[in-house]
Structure 1
């Protein structure tokens, strides 16, 4: 059985995005991810919710908003 590792804090999430995934948290990237995560028709958002649940989607949006506020 495959175990998913879900970040439990903003710091863990930021590490996953910037270090493990190698993404730069730029304003365009953050805004695009917030928009996608708020779109129930977005294919990747549907998959995200299937895998991690809607509560995690809301938490991830909050982390993107926090990252945006730090720019």
Structure 2
């Protein structure tokens, strides 16, 4: 399932993936996803598309704002 909302995504990350959404983790992920030449970002876009990439960046930004 690809999350469609921030709450779905957050639940997936925390509960399913067992990842703590720390400030440091969010900053690291944003740096990766904003780097269009990063192989991980290129693969992400090829699998999930541009819109989902923008959603993910926005959702990590929300994590930063909430901490």
**Equivalent of residue 37 in structure 1, options 33, 38, 44:** 33
TM-score of the two chains, using structure 2 as the length reference: 0.94
More helix by share: 2
How many residues get paired? 67
Q: Give me the CA root mean square deviation.
A: 0.7
Runs of 4+ in 1 over 3 A off after TM superposition: none
1:61 aligns with 2:57: yes
Higher Cα Rg, which structure: 1
List runs of 5+ in structure 1 lacking aligned partners: none
| Residue in structure 1 matched with residue 15 of structure 2 by the alignment | 19
